[in-house]
Amino acid sequence: MSAEFSDISNNEIDTFYATVSHNVKKKRIAMELSQLDLSLKLGIKSVAFYSNCENLRYGKHFNLEHIYKLAKALNIKMCDLLEENHHQ
């Protein structure tokens, strides 16, 4: 049985954003890329903005376009960034 969108809490959404950010950071570090390196690969001109997304500061998070570009830049599938089992 599928849940109604209205049944999804803000906490669940925050957990989703945290999962994505954790997976991005883990893969970036494993590939020995700096935040600057990866932000430039994504076409993000502000490393501060990228850092805020990766660390969920000031309400910033990666959007769908970012996730698509991150997957391409990191040479992984988008689903690898979305899976909760990577968030430990």
5 belongs to a structural domain: no
61 belongs to a structural domain: yes
Q: Residue 86 — very low, low, confident or very high, per pLDDT cuts 50/70/90? A: very low
- Tell me the CA distances in angstroms from 26 to 9, 11, 18, 45, 87, one per residue in order: 26, 22, 12, 22, 9
1 belongs to a structural domain: no
Structural domain count of the chain:
1
Strands (E), 12-88: none
Give the HSE-up count for residue 8: Cα atoms under 13 Å, Cβ half-sphere.
9
Average pLDDT over residues 19-46: 97
pLDDT at 84: 87
64 belongs to a structural domain: yes
User: Which pTM was predicted?
Assistant: 0.86
Q: Comparing C-alpha atoms, which of 28, 13, 70, 3 is closest to residue 78?
A: 70
What is the span of the domain harbouring residue 45?
A: 10-86
46 belongs to a structural domain: yes
Structure token pair of residue 57: 């500061």
32 belongs to a structural domain: yes
37 belongs to a structural domain: yes
Cα(42)–Cα(22) distance, integer angstroms: 17
Q: Give the CA diameter of the chain.
A: 43
Computed over every residue of the chain, the mean pLDDT equals: 92
Q: Which CATH number belongs to the domain containing residue 16 in this structure?
A: 1.10.260.40
Q: Please tell me which residue, 28 or 7, carries the higher pLDDT value.
A: 28
pLDDT at 88 over 70: no
% of the chain with per-residue pLDDT over 70: 91
Average pLDDT over residues 74-80: 97
pLDDT at 6: 73
